[in-house]
Amino acid sequence: MSSNEKPQKTTGLHIGDAVPGCKKKDPMLVIDHVKKTFGGLTAVDVEHLEIPSGVITALIGPNGAGKTTLFNLLTGFDTPDTGTWSFMGTSLSGVPSFKVAQLGQVRTFQLTKALSLLTVIENMKLGAKGQSGESIFRALFPGFWKKQDEDIEVKAMELLKRFKLDTKKGDFAASLSGGQRKLLEMARALMTDPTLVMLDEPMAGVNPALTQSLLDHVISLKGEGMTVLFVEHDMHMVRHIADWVVVMAEGKVVAEGPPESVMKEQAVIDAYLGAHQETDLGEVTGRINIIKGEDK
Amino acid sequence: MDWGSILNNTLAGFLTPTTIAFALAALGLAMHFGFAGLLNFGIAGFMAIGGYGYAISVLTFGLPWWAGMLVGVLGSVVFALILGIPTLRLRGDYLAIATIAAAEIARLLFLTTAFTDVTGSADGLFGFNSRPDGSGFQNSNPIPQGTYGFGPFTYNEQTLWVLIFGLIVLTVAVWFLWALMRSPWGRVIKGIREDEEAVRSLGKNVFAYKLQALVIGGVFGALGGIIYTAAQNISPGVYVTSLTFFIWTSLLLGGAATIFGPVIGAVIFWVIQAFLSNVLPELATSGILPVSTTQASTLRFVLVGIGLMLLVIYRPQGIFGDKRELTFVK
Amino acid sequence: MKFLLDDTRRRALRIILVALLAVFGGLSVSAPALGDSVGEEYSATIFGNVKIDGEPIAGVRIVVDGGGYTAETVTDSDGRWSIGVPEVRNYNVTLDESTLPEGISVLEGGATQEVEFGLTDRVAKNFFIGEGERNETSIFDQIVSRFIYGINFGLMLGLAAVGVSLVFGTTGLSNFSHGEMVTFGAVAALIFGVGLQLPLFIAIPIAVALSAGLGWSLDAGLWRPLRKKGLGIVQLMIVSIGLSLTMRYVIQFVIGGGTEQLPGFDAPKMNLFGAVALSSTDLMSMGLSIVVIVAFAYWLLRTKTGKATRAISDNPDLAAASGIDVDKVIRIVWIMSASLAGLAGVLWAYFRPGIKWDMGTQILLLIFAAVTLGGLGTAFGALIGALIVGVLVEMSGLLIPADLKYVGALVVLIVVLLVRPQGLLGRKQRVG
């Protein structure tokens, strides 16, 4: 996938009008009446939200909109005060984060959690699911898990090659650069064979040279049939790869729809820009300058 | 200054039941802290439960020695579960306080006169290693009566039996820890040590792993207590927080996140202790140190305290550890 | 060999069962075969005679226990009793006052007394009985008196706990050597008050001043350099453990393993009201604690450094950014923490009573319990926590054996960590 090809966008995801809380033809995540308060502050207050399957959805909004809180709620890393939410039809209320991950969701973190004290290949192997060697009694006798471990290593090496980290396999993750660690985290997440990949600000702290590569990887996930939901600030990036955009402000969803139309909605412009109505949102939020001229 | 006897006694410190007991407890702590990152400051409690579980089973319930030892081990499993299930989600230093408190509660329960029928309270328990009905540990001693060994490593058949038994247990424990840590299970544990959230996001039940680590380390600690007790009697005055701190010193000395580090650390600790407990009083009596002999013995514990501080400040990875691997060092 | 023979236990159990049946069945215990001699198979014997005004009393229950052995008997028609014991050692002999006639009780020494064998294997134990009030304090009086003692203990704990909380709040360090700072104060008072024979009103301030000096040197020589070096919290905690070991054994080096007393420790207890009996020393301790705590509260709330301390505990980066000299404030915190600990040590020496090398270590966990209960990092929380722990420790004596009274506080400590780790007054921050 070359960097200047415009990715194929999927359309026709919604039923009815593209309004906040609209139903989707094939929802993967469904959220109902979810509310979370901290102290006296309402961080999230979402009536209804559905995330479509098989496409890339962006969750955007100005600082303090509640995106990260909602993200943590959806991945089980936080619990809402009220509400229900389900993943592929299974209710996630009260389900701990590790079980959510076992159901097919995987998330990355804003501050990358590549395990520095493990080597790159160990990081990768850690991601694999259903390892018999992780059960304590079978762990003692390599006969039980040696074969499986070798298979996992083959799969890990394939992924590492794809992310161009294969030469680093024996290095401690601590010795990787920040961007390489981000790639490692993403590669490791793929080891879990997820259905839904949740990326928490994947571009945060990444140097511009690496962002195109990251974007390409995200797009390729869709190509492999996975659903992607990511939180981001950068509107250029969102316009570039997202099929669907959910805009939050002050804890509520204020707009939903394909990127082009959403960015023109008054509610969204108000949320971001306040007085500077004429400025293109991409200019205001853009962190990276990789797409030149194509969206103007 | 009788250097001959000082040297002799120092070398003897290499291989005593106490050394093996310390090595086992330090291995347990390596599992807890070195590999899983759990700040367990109650390892003395596990040792006490192992030792008392064994002694009480033999004396009060008339069990044969091997069943008594099993009871001691099971007791430590129960203790680990009771302690771990509520406390494992606590942050590091809070967990440290909770574990010290738990170990102290255990010690006070063994010390109180309320249970003196079973525990012997302050006097402790005696005579459970050799039983008149032949079910005692020493009754199963296959070694004929006599003295064995050479030089500083001279033992009677009773001590030798404890040493052999202890070494077998230690070897199994070392293998167990080594096998676990090089397996996928060990990988998960090392991940948890560094960042629980990351490991959770990959679908692992972090709590279950931590609990398993706590139980395993606790069992090693209990075995340490049992070996110590098999060599003599048992009294609550041994299982004080100072004991936990000495085991920590042995662990850090050898290398917290290594397999052989704790064993070697325990050996070195005891050899140094043996050396100091012989040299210092002699220096006092011969007037080189202007202190009394009792003061000279106290001095060696002062040196342990200073040693621990220097160790954790300047070489926290110990002798064999890798500084890159340590999570508690900035 | 001290161990429990099945035979002995069965026999003792049998005797107790029969005795119980006798008491409940209202049978007069005129069974001399059971009555006078127990434990005949043993060679050592404890025996005695129960008489009033020369008249023997029968049916009085006597219990002997010690070394894992318990046996009992009742006096025969001559008022005599005899209990065989397996070995020559100290035993406790208890006369069951409820089996004495109405209005008669043990006049001297209490209902339970210790007996020691002399050169032979027979020893007598007689109780001095007569008409007199059986000392039965009502439950209410006991509760009140324990509550007051608990407050006394809690005030002393509070002085020590405040220091731990402040140090934690400003530096994040869980200071395991705080117990030794307490002992240090007591030992300093000992050296100047007893060793150098200075009057107490000079010796105690000197002890506190020296404790302040200790706090200053510890921060200057150890904690500040380590902070600068960037050591992690866990490393610092282990350093404090090493320091605790070092200080503990240095103190033992200096004063030995025995117990010493400060002058005035044995001031007579005056009956104040109900069952509450306090000595002049107790009252002065409580008064002093309250005065110091009030002064400290004033410092924390009103003075500039006090406010700066609270600011740093709240948010160190913001405090530093707003121009507060964090290092200087931390130095002051250490000095205060050590001085209060030293004073607490003096008070603890009077409360125990007695100065021993590990006296501070003994209450370290109680101090942590107080601090955790109140909220790690808040000074007032530490005080409230300390009072609660003090009262809890004393009151628990009503329900559980006296030598388990610290267990109550330790259980509270663990429960607080589980249920509400930020304590009563702390802010809800990530503790897990």
B90 close to C (CB below 8 A): yes
Chain A residues within an 8 Å CB radius of B327: 117
Give the residue, C329 or C17, on which the prediction is more confident: C329
B191 close to A (CB below 8 A): yes
Give the residue from C248, C414, C428 with the most B CB atoms within 10 Å of its CB, the best one to mutate: C414
* Domain ranges, ordered by start, for chain B: 14-241
What mean pLDDT, rounded, does chain B reach? 88
pLDDT score of B208:
93
Residue A228: C-alpha distances to residues A13, A106, A245, A287, C393 (Å): 14, 10, 12, 21, 58
- Which region among A144-158, A224-238, B194-208 has the lowest average model confidence (pLDDT)? A224-238
Whether residue A6 is contained in a domain is answered as: no
User: On the CB side of A230, how many CA atoms lie within 13 Å of its CA?
Assistant: 29
Q: Are residues A123 and A108 in the same domain?
A: no
Q: Are residues A45 and A122 in the same domain?
A: no
With CB atoms and an 8 Å threshold, state whether A139 touches B199.
no
Label residue C18 by pLDDT band (50, 70, 90): very low
Chain B residues within an 8 Å CB radius of A145: 183-184
Find tokens 């104040």 and name the residue: C272
Q: pTM score, two decimals?
A: 0.80
Label residue B121 by pLDDT band (50, 70, 90): confident
Beta-strand ranges (E) seen in chain A are 27-38, 41-52, 56-60, 82-87, 90-91, 105-107, 196-200, 227-231, 244-249, 252-257
Label residue A276 by pLDDT band (50, 70, 90): low
B101 close to C (CB below 8 A): yes
Question: Nearest residue of B to residue A113 by CA position?
Answer: B198
Q: Are residues A123 and A227 in the same domain?
A: no
Coil, helix or strand for C212?
A: helix
Chain A residues within an 8 Å CB radius of B188: 126, 134
CA–CA separation, C300 vs C306, rounded Å? 4
Q: Looking at this predicted complex, what is its ipTM?
A: 0.89
Q: Are residues A147 and A26 in the same domain?
A: no
CA–CA separation, B281 vs B1, rounded Å? 10
pLDDT score of A82:
87
pLDDT score of A253:
87
Label residue A84 by pLDDT band (50, 70, 90): confident
Find tokens 């009536």 and name the residue: A47
Q: Are residues A31 and A88 in the same domain?
A: yes
Pairing outcome for strands C80-85 and C37-38: parallel
pLDDT score of C25:
34
Joined together, the tokens standing for residue B81 give: 């579960």
Chain B residues within an 8 Å CB radius of A107: 201
Joined together, the tokens standing for residue B130 give: 């050799």
Non-local (6+) Cβ contacts of A153 within 8 A are A121, A125
| Dihedral angle of Cα B295, B298, B303, B309, to the nearest 10 degrees | -130
Question: Nearest residue of A to residue B200 by CA position?
Answer: A98
Do residues C366 and C406 make contact, with C-beta atoms less than 8 angstroms apart? yes
Do residues C172 and C233 make contact, with C-beta atoms less than 8 angstroms apart? yes
Last residue of a domain, one of A175, A200, A215: A175
What is the tens place of the pLDDT at every residue in C354-379? 888 989 988 998 999 899 888 887 88
Nearest-neighbour CA in chain A from B56: distance (Å): 30
Q: Per-residue pLDDT for A245 more than 80? A: yes
Q: Per-residue pLDDT for C317 more than 90? A: no
With CB atoms and an 8 Å threshold, state whether A113 touches B201.
yes
What mean pLDDT, rounded, does chain C reach? 81
Nearest-neighbour CA in chain C from B98: distance (Å): 6
pLDDT score of C429:
52
Label residue C387 by pLDDT band (50, 70, 90): very high
C6-131 folds as Immunoglobulin-like (2.60.40)
Q: Are residues A75 and A145 in the same domain?
A: no
Report chain C's terminal Cα–Cα distance, integer Å: 49
Q: Per-residue pLDDT for A163 more than 90? A: no
With CB atoms and an 8 Å threshold, state whether B299 touches C253.
yes
With CB atoms and an 8 Å threshold, state whether C403 touches B126.
no
Three-state helix/strand/coil letters over C66-121? ECCEEEEEECCCCCEEEEEECCCCCEEEEECHHHCCCCEEECCCCCEEEECCCCCC
With CB atoms and an 8 Å threshold, state whether B112 touches C1.
no
Enumerate neighbours of C (3 or more CB pairs within 8 A): B
Which of B176, B184, B186 lies closest to A149 in CB terms?
Answer: B184
| Dihedral angle of Cα C400, C406, C407, C412, to the nearest 10 degrees | 110
Mean per-residue pLDDT for B239-246? Answer: 91
Nearest-neighbour CA in chain B from A227: distance (Å): 17
Label residue A278 by pLDDT band (50, 70, 90): low
With CB atoms and an 8 Å threshold, state whether A109 touches B198.
yes
Last residue of a domain, one of A131, A154, A175: A175
Domain range spanning residue A247? 14-114+178-296
Residue B239: C-alpha distances to residues A246, B319, C123, C259 (Å): 60, 27, 36, 22
Beta-strand ranges (E) seen in B7-79 are none
Task: Single out the residue of C349, C149, C341 nearest to residue C266, CA to CA.
Answer: C349
Residues of chain C with CATH 2.60.40.10: 6-131
Domain CATH code at residue A218? 3.40.50.300
Q: Are residues A24 and A154 in the same domain?
A: no
CA–CA separation, B44 vs C408, rounded Å? 20
Last residue of a domain, one of A134, A150, A175: A175
Whether residue A8 is contained in a domain is answered as: no
Enumerate neighbours of A (3 or more CB pairs within 8 A): B
Which of B180, B194, B204 lies closest to A98 in CB terms?
Answer: B204
Question: Nearest residue of B to residue C247 by CA position?
Answer: B302
- Note the CATH architecture for domain C139-419: Orthogonal Bundle (1.10)
CA–CA separation, B183 vs A136, rounded Å? 9
Give the residue, C137 or A105, on which the prediction is more confident: A105
Task: Give the count of domains, chain A.
Answer: 2
Q: Are residues A163 and A241 in the same domain?
A: no
Beta bridge partner(s), residue A86: A30, A91
What is the tens place of the pLDDT at every residue in C60-96? 888 888 877 888 888 888 888 888 888 888 888 888 8
CB pairs under 8 A between A and B: 98
Q: Are residues A126 and A98 in the same domain?
A: no
